[in-house]
Amino acid sequence: MQQTICIAGKNNIAVNVLEYCLEKYQNHNNIEIVCIPTEGDKGVNGWQRSLRWYCEQHHVNMVSLTEIYEVENLLFLSVEFDKIIDVKKFRSNKLFNIHFSLLPQYKGMYPSVLPILFCERKTGVTLHRIREGIDTGEIIDQEEIKIKIEDSSLDIYQELNLIGAKIVIENIEKLLSGEFTCKKQKATGSTYFSVGTIDYKNLSLNLRCTAFQVCNQVRAFAFRPYQLLSYGGSGLIAGKVTKTISTQKPGTVLEENDICYIVSTIDYNVILYKDVLDVLFEAIKNNDNKNAIYYCSCKKIINDRDEHGWTPLIVATYFNNKEMVEWLVENGADIYTVNNNGTNLLMYAKEAYKRTGDNTLYLFYCAKGLRENMKDFFGRDLYYYLKKDGIELTTIKGNRIVK
Ligand code: TYD
């Protein structure tokens, strides 16, 4: 019997689910895979991968909602889809959604933000049936994640994107065959938040609260692709509660320097760390490592990324700043990081070699476990780029260092 899998949505979660489905079912005669990218998806990879771009690259049929209403044997997967699904319009009842919370809690909007503001220690993703209400259908599967004290809403969102794809992939066979079990959502403990809960156009830091609450506001709104909370003319990337009890009026600035403010609250003084990503990149580029390390006083910045997906480690690698690479890796920089095109650190080390003839960083990342066959989002690996640049693998892997 012919079946159709429709992936409706956006971002890494949708791309990861599609990638898996293509690998598993593309050569399956009876399964057709189609997608509905969201309207906001303009076909460009940014801080999240674009489902539309991926469909174009891999010749996946893109359809409209109305086209699939009539499909009888349909598995509909809503993964970060932005339209409310009218179940009555579908012939199929195999309609599922991933919601970024531990349902029945946090139905509706901002599920990667509100749990931080409400001081939750955990959140998660839920795979559920789509019913008439919002995020109300029976639960098929759920996975929890810890909210760490240093996590921003962007960190949570990224993690939920990954776990969300994983949970769909783990359940897809059961969803296809219809052999899944599900349980109704309880009314007790069920909460919902509408779009008006947060007014992103008028965000401001409220200092008439505890230092802990101030830090929670900073990290809840630290979502660089959209905004950082701004304070005193600077974006804020993180906060830190000090051990000093506030003796001044809440909101009094006690100290300010290049990287932070120290401000009083209703209990303890709090450090508010400024966004220094741009100046950090400049310092790394100029081999000004003393200042670069100073700008990394707030450890949060070490794995931060700009609009290209560049992290401090990517910049240090590209500019062959070996001392800074070593320092960043020792201080928790992620060596598996990639930019918005999926370019990995071994590829950046190849660029550094190309310009300087120094292969130290290339060998460093090889020793750390990065492999030449890792592909970027264009499906190209390092062998492809070496060939394009006319560089022999044996040469770049040799120990010859030209200064
Ligand atoms: P969005 O891309 O609208 O997706 P979703 O449908 O999952 O909410 O938003 C993703 C997250 O981005 C959202 O949970 C909170 C954050 N966000 C901001 O920080 N600022 C904004 O202006 C918006 C719209 C979202």
Is the confidence at residue 399, as pLDDT, over 70? no
Share of the chain above pLDDT 70, in %: 99
State the average pLDDT over residues 78-105: 96
Which pLDDT belongs to residue 133? 87
Instruction: For ligand 1, say whether the CB of 81 is within 6 Å of any of its atoms.
Output: no
Cα angle vertex 275, ends 333, 334, to 5°?
10
Q: 211-254, pLDDT tens digit by residue? A: 999 999 999 999 999 999 999 999 999 999 999 999 999 999 99
Q: Which amino acid is at 337?
A: T
Q: 22-66, pLDDT tens digit by residue? A: 999 988 889 999 999 999 999 999 999 999 999 999 999 999 999
Which pLDDT belongs to residue 403? 46
Task: Give 343's DSSP letter.
Answer: -
Tokens of 162: 């990954």
Instruction: For ligand 1, say whether the CB of 4 is within 6 Å of any of its atoms.
Output: no
Tokens of 354: 């190309």
State the average pLDDT over residues 349-378: 97
Distance separating alpha carbons of residues 321 and 287, to the nearest angstrom = 6
Distance separating alpha carbons of residues 102 and 120, to the nearest angstrom = 11
Task: Give 201's DSSP letter.
Answer: G
**Residue ID of nearest Cα to ligand 1 atom 14:** 110
Share of the chain above pLDDT 90, in %: 96
Distance separating alpha carbons of residues 211 and 265, to the nearest angstrom = 6
Distance separating alpha carbons of residues 335 and 314, to the nearest angstrom = 9
Q: pTM of the predicted model, to two decimals?
A: 0.95
Q: 129-168, pLDDT tens digit by residue? A: 999 988 999 999 999 999 999 999 999 999 999 999 999 9
Instruction: For ligand 1, say whether the CB of 112 is within 6 Å of any of its atoms.
Output: yes
Which pLDDT belongs to residue 292? 98
- For residue 114, the SS3 value is helix
Strand pairing of 139-146 and 192-193? unpaired
Instruction: For ligand 1, say whether the CB of 110 is within 6 Å of any of its atoms.
Output: yes
Tokens of 208: 């008439």
Distance separating alpha carbons of residues 226 and 341, to the nearest angstrom = 20
Is the confidence at residue 402, as pLDDT, over 70? no
For the chain, how are helix, strand and coil distributed in percent, rounded to 5? Answer: 35, 20, 45
Instruction: For ligand 1, say whether the CB of 157 is within 6 Å of any of its atoms.
Output: yes
Closest atom of ligand 1 relative to the 82 alpha carbon:
6
Find the range with the poorest average confidence among 117-131, 200-214, 385-399: 385-399
Calculate the CA 378 to chain-centre distance.
19
| Residues 284, 319 contacting (CB under 8 angstroms) | yes
State the average pLDDT over residues 371-394: 97
In DSSP terms, which residues pair with 145 in a beta bridge? 123
CB neighbour burial string for 361-394, b if at least 16 within 10 angstroms, e if fewer: bbbbbbeeebebeeebbeeebbeebbeeeebeee
**Residue ID of nearest Cα to ligand 1 atom 18:** 226
State the average pLDDT over residues 113-139: 96
Placement of tokens 């060998």 in the chain = 363
Which pLDDT belongs to residue 29? 82
First to last CA, the chain: 65
Q: 325-343, pLDDT tens digit by residue? A: 999 999 999 999 999 999 9
